[in-house]
C-alpha cells in the first residue's frame, strides 16, 4: 500500500502539468485564490460556521432554509403608467411570481410630479410614474395587499410613496398592521453611488428614523429599510467593498434609530438587506455567508438581545452591469449562473434580470425567461432539497473567512473615522468604489477580464433584438390630466392645511411619515409632499469628482493607449490647449458609473474633462458648455431619456451659434435609436461594451486628428 499523497506531491504534479505556470488568481478584492483548497485552509483560522438557524447564521437564517420554504421569486418591475404596470404584475403573478417589487420612474424618485418642467424626458421611462394616491390605487388594483408582499425601491421620495401605499391599502380595506413587504429607504448608499436623493444627509437620516419609528409602531410585518449593497455592486464595488459599506450602513441606521430612543430589539428584526450578485460564482456565495456572519457580530456589539435582531435577511438581484448589449442571449446564461450563486448563498428572495435589460426595459418574453430561470431552479435542479449544500467546501469556507476579515478591516476604519455618515460626507467610500470601477473597465478594455461576445468570441454581425419602447410624451400627458383632475376634485383647504402641518412637523419633531399619511389621504401629490419638506430641509446638490490615475496605470506600456495620448498631444498643439470635453448627465438619472469611468479614463489620456453636475436640463448643459468653451459634449444616458434630451441640447447649441460643438452619446441606448440620434446631429454613439480607448480615438478623429484605426496599432 502506497503512502497517502501530500500537498507537496500535488504541487509537484501540478507544476509538471502546467510547466511551472503560476495558477494563483488575484481577484479585484485583493484575494489570492489558490488552485486547490484543503481542510487546512477551511479550518486554519478557527472560524466555525456553525449550523443553519443558529448564530452567527453563516449557513443560513433558518434551520430548514429552502427545504422548508423556497426563496421568494420577487421580480422588480414597473414602467410607463400605473395601469400598464398593474397588468404586467397580474400576468407575472399568474405565471408563478410570488411577490411584487416596484420600480418607480426617475421623476418619482426625485420628488417631482409629472408636470414639473425638469422631468420632461423622464416620466414613465425607467419605472412607473406615481404622482398620487390615485396612481398607487391603480398600481395595486385587484392585488390583495393583505396577502401580497410588496417591495418598493424608493429612497428620495420615500415619505410620499410609503404614505400613498398605506392609503391605497386603507381604501382597499386593508389596515396598516396587515401590510408586509419592504421599503428600501437606504439614503447613505444614494449619496455614495446611486444619487437619487432629494434632501441633504442630516434630514435624510431623520426621515429614516421617522419611518423606522412609525413602522415599528403601526406596521409590525413591514420591513422599514432595505440596506442596499446592490447599487454599490452595480457602481463597480468589489465584493469586499460591497460587504463592508453595506454592513456599516446598516450599523449607522441602527445607531440612528437607537439615538431617538427606540429599543434595538423593537426594530432590528424588520431591517433587511439587498445585495447584487455578479459573475464570480464562489465569491458571491461566500459574500452572502460572510454578510450574515458580520451582521450577527455588529448587532451583538450594539446590544441586541434577540437572535431575530441578529439575523441578516436579504433580497438579491442578479447583476445589471454584467448584462451585455452584444450577443445578448448570453445574458440568459449569466443570469442563471448568478441566480444559482444567490440561492446557494442563502438569499430569502431573488430578482433575475431579463436578457434585454442591458439596453431597455424587459419585454414580456424576456421577463418570462427571467422568471422561469428561478422556477426551474426551484422545481427541477434539486437546490431546495439540502440546507447550505456548499457548507464544508474547503474553498467556500476559506473564502467566506477571508471576506469577513477584509470587510471588517474597512468597517473598523469607518468606525475609527466617525461612522458611515461622516465617511460618506468625506467621500472616501465613493472614491474607493470608483477606483475599483475604473480598474475593472480597464481590465475589460484590455481583454484581461473576458466578456464573452464583447471582447472575446465576438459575433461578426449582431442580430437585431426587439426591445420595449415607452412613449414618454403620451405617458406624461396622461399623468398630467390625472393630476389636474385630482387637484380639481379634492378639498383644497384641507389638503393645504395637511401640507402646512407637514412643513411645521419637519421644522420641529413631528413624525413626517405620519403627517404625510394625512396629507396623502387629503390627496396631496408626491411633488407637493416633497416640496413641503424641502421648504425646511432644502434640496441637496453635488458635482462628480472622478478619480484619476487608475485607468492610466492599468494601461502602462500599451501601444494603442500610447497612440491615443500622442493624438491628444497633437490636438493640444494645434488648438493651443487640451481638447475639452463636457461629460453631461441630463435628466433625473443619478447612476453615474459610466460617466465617471469615461471622465476618469479621458482625463488620464490627457483630455481636459468637465464633469457636469447631475440632473441638468438641456438648457443648463448648453450654458455650461458655452461657459467652458468645450469642443465636445458627451451625453450619458442610462434611463431612456436620450431621444428627448439630446436633440433638445443640440437645438439649443445651434440657436446659440455653437453648432460646431460635437455631440456624442453613450450608455444604455438601443441600436434601433442610433439612426434617430444621428439624424438629430449626434456624431458618435457608444453603447454598452464600447472600448473606452477606441472611443477616445474616435473622438480625436471627430476633432480633426488623423487617428489610425485600431488594427494599425502595434501590439
Active-site residues, by number, are 76, 230-231, 585, 589, 591
The stretches of 49-102 forming alpha helices (DSSP H) are: 65-68, 82-94
Any bridge partners for residue 633, and if so which? Answer: 582, 663
Give the end-to-end CA distance of the chain in Å, rounded to a whole number: 54
CB 182 within 8 A of CB 134: no
Beta carbons within 8 Å of 416's beta carbon, 6+ residues apart: none
The dihedral region occupied by 447, where left means phi > 0, alpha psi between -120 and 50, and beta the remainder, is left
The length of the chain in residues reads 715
CB 103 within 8 A of CB 338: no
3-state secondary structure (DSSP) of residue 299: helix
**What is the CB neighbour count within 10 angstroms for residue 112?**
26
CB 79 within 8 A of CB 88: yes
Packing angle of the helix pair 239-259, 428-446 (nearest 10 deg): 160
Tell me the CA distances in angstroms from 675 to 522, 583, 672, 685, one per residue in order.
47, 22, 7, 10
Tell me the CA distances in angstroms from 691 to 60, 77, 594, one per residue in order.
41, 30, 12
H helix or E strand, kind and range, residue 609? strand 608-611
Burial 673-688 (b: 16+ CB within 10 A, else e): beeebeebbbebbbbb
Pair type for strands 32-33 and 25-26: antiparallel
Tell me the CA distances in angstroms from 497 to 160, 502, 505, 516, one per residue in order.
16, 9, 12, 12
For 429-448, give the DSSP string.
HHHHHHHHHHHHHHHHHHTS
Tell me which residue has cell 420615500.
Answer: 158
**548 CB-contact burial (10 Å; exposed 0-12 / middle 13-18 / buried 19+):** middle
CA distance 694 to 662: 17
Q: Which of 577, 660, 677 is CA-nearest to residue 625?
A: 660
Pair type for strands 225-228 and 222-223: unpaired
CA distance 340 to 381: 10
Tell me which residue has cell 434551520.
Answer: 63
CA distance 583 to 132: 34
CA distance 513 to 208: 10
Tell me which residue has cell 453615474.
Answer: 592
CB 288 within 8 A of CB 275: yes
The torsion of the CA quartet 256, 257, 260, 264, rounded to 10 degrees, works out to -130
Q: Which of 442, 175, 450, 488 is CA-nearest to residue 322?
A: 450
DSSP E strands, 204-348: 222-223, 225-228, 271-277, 314-318
3-state secondary structure (DSSP) of residue 410: helix
CA distance 421 to 639: 28
Amino acid at each position: 500500500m502506497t503512502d497517502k499523497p501530500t500537498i507537496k506531491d500535488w504541487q509537484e504534479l501540478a507544476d509538471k502539468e502546467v510547466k511551472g505556470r503560476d495558477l494563483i488568481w488575484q481577484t479585484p478584492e485583493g484575494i489570492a485564490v489558490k488552485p486547490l483548497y484543503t481542510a487546512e485552509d477551511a479550518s486554519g483560522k478557527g472560524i466555525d460556521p456553525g449550523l443553519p438557524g443558529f448564530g452567527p447564521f453563516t449557513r443560513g437564517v433558518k434551520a430548514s432554509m429552502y427545504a422548508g420554504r423556497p426563496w421568494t421569486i420577487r421580480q422588480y418591475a414597473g414602467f410607463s403608467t400605473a395601469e400598464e404596470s398593474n397588468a404586467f404584475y397580474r400576468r407575472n403573478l399568474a405565471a408563478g411570481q410570488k411577490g411584487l417589487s416596484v420600480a418607480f420612474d426617475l421623476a418619482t424618485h426625485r420628488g417631482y410630479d409629472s408636470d414639473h418642467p425638469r422631468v420632461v424626458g423622464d416620466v414613465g421611462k425607467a419605472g412607473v410614474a406615481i404622482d398620487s394616491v390615485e396612481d398607487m390605487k391603480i398600481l395595486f388594483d385587484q392585488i390583495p395587499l393583505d396577502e401580497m408582499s410588496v417591495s418598493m425601491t424608493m429612497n428620495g421620495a420615500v415619505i410620499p410613496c410609503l404614505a400613498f401605499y398605506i392609503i391605497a391599502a386603507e381604501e382597499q380595506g386593508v389596515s396598516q398592521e396587515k401590510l408586509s413587504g419592504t421599503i428600501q429607504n437606504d439614503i447613505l448608499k444614494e449619496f455614495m453611488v446611486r444619487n437619487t436623493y432629494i434632501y441633504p444627509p442630516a434630514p435624510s437620516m431623520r426621515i429614516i428614523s421617522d419611518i423606522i419609528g412609525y413602522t415599528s409602531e403601526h406596521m409590525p410585518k413591514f420591513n422599514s429599510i432595505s440596506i442596499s449593497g446592490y447599487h454599490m455592486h452595480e457602481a463597480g464595488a468589489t465584493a469586499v467593498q460591497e460587504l463592508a459599506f453595506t454592513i456599516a450602513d446598516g450599523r449607522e441606521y441602527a445607531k440612528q434609530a437607537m439615538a431617538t430612543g427606540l429599543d434595538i430589539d423593537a426594530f432590528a428584526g424588520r431591517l433587511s438587506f439587498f445585495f447584487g450578485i455578479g459573475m464570480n460564482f464562489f465569491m458571491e456565495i461566500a459574500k452572502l455567508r460572510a454578510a450574515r456572519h458580520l451582521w450577527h457580530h455588529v448587532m451583538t456589539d450594539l446590544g441586541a438581545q434577540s437572535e431575530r435582531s441578529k439575523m441578516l435577511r436579504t433580497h438579491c438581484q442578479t447583476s445589471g452591469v454584467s448584462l451585455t448589449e452584444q450577443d445578448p442571449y448570453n445574458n440568459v446564461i449569466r443570469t442563471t449562473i448568478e441566480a444559482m450563486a444567490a440561492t446557494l448563498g442563502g438569499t430569502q428572495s431573488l430578482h433575475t434580470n431579463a436578457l434585454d435589460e442591458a439596453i431597455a426595459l424587459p419585454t414580456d418574453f424576456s421577463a418570462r425567461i427571467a422568471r422561469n430561470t428561478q422556477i426551474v431552479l426551484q422545481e427541477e435542479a434539486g437546490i431546495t432539497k439540502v440546507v447550505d449544500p456548499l457548507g464544508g467546501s474547503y474553498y467556500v469556507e476559506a473564502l467566506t473567512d477571508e471576506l469577513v476579515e477584509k470587510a471588517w478591516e474597512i468597517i473598523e476604519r469607518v468606525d475609527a473615522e466617525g461612522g458611515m455618515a461622516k465617511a460618506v460626507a468625506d467621500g472616501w467610500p465613493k472614491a474607493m468604489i470608483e477606483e475599483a470601477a475604473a480598474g475593472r473597465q480597464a481590465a475589460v478594455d484590455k481583454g484581461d477580464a473576458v466578456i464573452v461576445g464583447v471582447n472575446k468570441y465576438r459575433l461578426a454581425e449582431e442580430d437585431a433584438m426587439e426591445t420595449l419602447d415607452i412613449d414618454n410624451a403620451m405617458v406624461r400627458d396622461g399623468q398630467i390630466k390625472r393630476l389636474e383632475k385630482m387637484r380639481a376634485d379634492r378639498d383644497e383647504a384641507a389638503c393645504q392645511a395637511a401640507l402646512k402641518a407637514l412643513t411645521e412637523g419637519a421644522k420641529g419633531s413631528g413624525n413626517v411619515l405620519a403627517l404625510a399619511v394625512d396629507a396623502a389621504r387629503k390627496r396631496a401629490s408626491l411633488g407637493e409632499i416633497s416640496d413641503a419638506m424641502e421648504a425646511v430641509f432644502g434640496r441637496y446638490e453635488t458635482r462628480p469628482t472622478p478619480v484619476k490615475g487608475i485607468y492610466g496605470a492599468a494601461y502602462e506600456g500599451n501601444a494603442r493607449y500610447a497612440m491615443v495620448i500622442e493624438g491628444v498631444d497633437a490636438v493640444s498643439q494645434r488648438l493651443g490647449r487640451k481638447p475639452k470635453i463636457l461629460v453631461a448627465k441630463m435628466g433625473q438619472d443619478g447612476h453615474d458609473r459610466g460617466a465617471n469611468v469615461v471622465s476618469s479614463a479621458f482625463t488620464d489620456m490627457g483630455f481636459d474633462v468637465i464633469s457636469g453636475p447631475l440632473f441638468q436640463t438641456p438648457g443648463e448643459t448648453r450654458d455650461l458648455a458655452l461657459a467652458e468653451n468645450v469642443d465636445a459634449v458627451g451625453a450619458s444616458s442610462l434611463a431612456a431619456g436620450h431621444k428627448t434630451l439630446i436633440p433638445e441640447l443640440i437645438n439649443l447649441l445651434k440657436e446659440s451659434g455653437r453648432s460646431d460643438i460635437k455631440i456624442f452619446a453613450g450608455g444604455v441606448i438601443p441600436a434601433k435609436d442610433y439612426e434617430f440620434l444621428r439624424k438629430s446631429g449626434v456624431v458618435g454613439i457608444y453603447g454598452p461594451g464600447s472600448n473606452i480607448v477606441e472611443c477616445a480615438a474616435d473622438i480625436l478623429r471627430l476633432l480633426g486628428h488623423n487617428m489610425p484605426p485600431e488594427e494599425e496599432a502595434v501590439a
